[in-house]
A = this chain, B = another copy of it.
Amino acid sequence: MNMLESLGKKAKAASRTLANASTEIKNSALLNIAQMLRENADRIISANEIDLKNGKESGLSNALLDRLALNETRINDMVQGVTDIVALPDPVGRIERGTLLPNGLQLIGIRVPLGVIGIIYEARPNVTCDAAALCIKSGNAVILRGGKEAINSNMAIVEIMRAALEDTGLPPDCIQLVEDTSRESATALMQLSGYLDVLIPRGGAGLIRAVVENSRVPVIETGAGNCHIYVDATADINMAAEIVYNAKCSRPSVCNALETLLVHKDIAEKVLPVIKQKLDQKSTQIRGCKKTCEILGNSVVPVTEEDYKTEFLDYILAVRVVDSIDQAIEHISKYSTGHSEGIITESYQNARRFEREIDAAAVYVNASTRFTDGGQFGFGAEIGISTQKLHARGPMGLSELTSMKYIVRGEGQVR
């Protein structure tokens, strides 16, 4: 697809200028973007109305229409997001290591932008603005490929951001939108090696799988969260119930929400009824193992193997009673997507063991899995939560959008 290659070339050229832009200039550009988005809110809302109208006509669900909708409050949030990024430290140029080698060469490891970042995402138009602002601050050009549902909103937002870049003296091609929202354009973007340095999918499990399977460009997997909490025999019962309720019910649609609860057999009879009472406040369905059904009675649906694999993203919780922490760790190792896993315990030894042996981006002791988030972790904004181990793991902030290079200064050294 020639169009994508042309975007790639323009992005690469723009990225070279942006990579060497000072923090001052990048911040001016972001402030300019914020101001112009605010001033042009009406234009964005008009474009969004077209998307909403089209969405209703094509039968989008209310949940999707809600994600798609922009109003003044949401645009203010977008603008606030951009100005928040101005306040974050710029990772580019940071000297991370350095030494004088025995032969007198000075070796310096320095943070540099990745170059050109591709983002494939779905219906939410605010991703357009968030992602582009994070890329600009970290010195990367970005090629955005949003969903067709939001194309009019995205075109309006990108046009405004590009004008603001140009106005600041930066190449507008630092931010480009793939306006063709066909499946072919997504595939073409995944094949754009040579121009793209990384591709980040943001969206549902289906999108992420498609990108991982088809991309020739390095990918950072984000978002899949089949999260567990294990209530150890020694757990504080009220703490367990509060944490489980928060992890499951505070926002079930997000990736750091709880999906399967594991409970030690010695505490199951005491803790499960307390947990159920809390979950009932949100009419949460429990899908339990045999033991769970025995303890909680009729309202529990028998759990299946498939349930253990499922990210419900809903008011549904799988529950299994286990014989030991070993069995809990075994279960998590089998079903976890490596996002966020927690233990509730008063045992020092079990806490340490869980921390060590669980292989996930974030491992919690006596706290809700819902904290896995760039903002909560104090990184400022995030571009996503990586569930792979290469390059970045967990919430990805500005530093995770950079690479490094070595500078070697000599006086004629040869080997």
Contacts and interface: CB of A to CB of B under 8 A. Distances in A.
Interface stretch (A55-63, A74-82, A170-178, A366-374): A366-374
Interface string A190-225: 000100011000000000000011001011100000
A194 B24 CA distance: 43
Contact of A361 (B105, B107, B405): B405
Given A99-B378, A107-B378, A414 B359 contact: no
Contacts of A212: 193, 216
Contacts of A367: 105, 408-414
A403 interface: yes
Contacts of A388: 197, 218
Interface residues of A, number: 67
A414 to B, nearest CB: 4
Nearest to A368: B414
B393 A404 contact: yes
Interface stretch (A65-73, A126-134, A158-166, A239-247): A239-247
A313 interface: no
Contacts of A376: 101, 415
B406 A362 contact: yes
Interface of A: 16, 19-20, 99, 101, 105, 107, 112, 114-115, 193, 197-198, 212-213, 216, 218-220, 236, 239, 242-243, 245-247, 250, 333, 351, 355-357, 359-368, 370-372, 376-378, 388-391, 393-394, 403-415
7 contacts: A107-B378, A212-B216, A250-B415, A363-B408, A367-B410, A367-B412, A367-B413
Given A20-B357, A245-B414, A355-B407, 15 more contacts: A16-B357, A20-B356, A101-B376, A105-B371, A107-B377, A112-B359, A197-B390, A242-B414, A359-B405, A360-B405, A363-B408, A365-B409, A371-B413, A372-B406, A393-B404
